[in-house]
Amino acid sequence: MSMKASTRQVDGVTIVDLSGRITLGEGSVVLRDSIKDLLGKGQKKILLNLGDVSYIDSSGIGELVSAFTSVRNQGGELKLLHLTKKVHDLLQITKLYTVFDVKDDEATAIGAFSR
Partner 1 sequence: MESTLESVNKAEETADQIAARAGLDEDIRSGVSMAVREGMINAILHGNAYDPNKRVNLSFEQNDHDLVIIISDEGKGFIPDDVPDPLAPENLLKTSGRGIFLMRAFMDEVRFRKLNPGTEITLIKRLQSS
| Separation between Cα atoms, residue 68 and residue 79, nearest integer Å | 8
- Tell me whether residue 58 or residue 108 sits nearer to partner 1 (CB atom): 58
Residue 40 interacts with partner 1 (CB under 8 A)?
A: no
Footprint of partner 1 on 47-106 (CB under 8 A) = 57-59, 61-63, 65-66, 68-69, 86, 93-96, 99
- Shortest spacing between CB 8 and partner 1, in angstroms: 27
- Shortest spacing between CB 9 and partner 1, in angstroms: 28
Which range, of 21-29, 35-43, 75-83, 102-110, touches partner 1 by CB under 8 A? Answer: 21-29
Residue 2 interacts with partner 1 (CB under 8 A)?
A: no
User: Among 111, 64, 59, which Cα is nearest to 83's?
Assistant: 64
| Separation between Cα atoms, residue 85 and residue 51, nearest integer Å | 10
Give the C-alpha distances (Å, rounded to integers) separating 97 from 2, 10, 105.
25, 24, 16
Helix, coil or strand: residue 98: coil
Measured in degrees and rounded to the nearest 5, phi and psi for residue 65 equal -65, -45
Residue 24 interacts with partner 1 (CB under 8 A)?
A: yes
- Tell me whether residue 37 or residue 89 sits nearer to partner 1 (CB atom): 89
